[in-house]
Amino acid sequence: MVVLETERLVLRPLTGEDFDDYAAMLADPQVAGGLAESVGTSPADAWRSLALFIGHREMRGYSHWALVEKATGRFVGRAGPWQPHGFPGLGVGWCLAREHWGKGYATEAARASLDYCLTELGAEEVISVILPGNSPSIAVAERIGHRHLRDIQYRGQTVHLYGQRLSSK
């Protein structure tokens, strides 16, 4: 299984052992409410969400990683490549526990994820689906080089599609 490292983070596969930290992160309505993939805040919702990412890795060979602070070993959130059935393309996404917002971790993990999509998955285009009004995620998308492409309907709601072409293959 793929493990990546950035300056301050270890990006390792999500596992069932992450459940308590993952559930605590999604129990925060501000965290769960900012996700384009609608997730509830209950432990059962967190279980289904975590299982979805682990299952995605089994089916596609890649998925979001657990983000772990190198300095402390603490779970920070999740980020990585993503393309479930019906998704508008190969995407990168991120979700961080609120106590880790504003530290630059989302950008750090998103950059590593984007690079992985280019170098390991051979992507020509990478997108991110972001809810309107989620200005912190829009800022992360722009910092990694994404630009607003258009608005689309996704899972019954209007979302912003950000992205970039990575090569001229």
What pLDDT is stored for residue 167 in this prediction? 57
Quick check: 7 pLDDT over 50? yes
Residue 29 to residue 126: CA distance in whole angstroms: 28
Which tokens go with 127?
């997108």
d(CA 161, CA 158): 10
Contact, 11 vs 120, CB < 8 A? Answer: no
Residue 127 and residue 139 in contact, taking contact as beta carbons nearer than 8 Å: no
pLDDT at residue 166, as a whole number: 74
Q: Interior CA angle at 57 toward 73 and 123, to 5°? A: 100
pLDDT averaged over every residue in the chain: 95
Which tokens belong to 113?
């994820």
End-to-end, the C-alpha distance of the chain in Å comes to 27
Summarize pLDDT for 96-154 with one digit per residue, the tens.
999 999 999 999 999 999 999 999 999 999 999 999 999 999 999 999 999 999 999 99
Rounded mean pLDDT of 152-169?
A: 86
Q: What is the mean pLDDT of residues 25-52?
A: 91
Q: Is the pLDDT of residue 30 over 80?
A: yes
pLDDT > 70? residue 168: no
The pLDDT score that the predictor gives to residue 169 is 46
90 pLDDT exceeds 70?
yes
pTM given for the model: 0.94
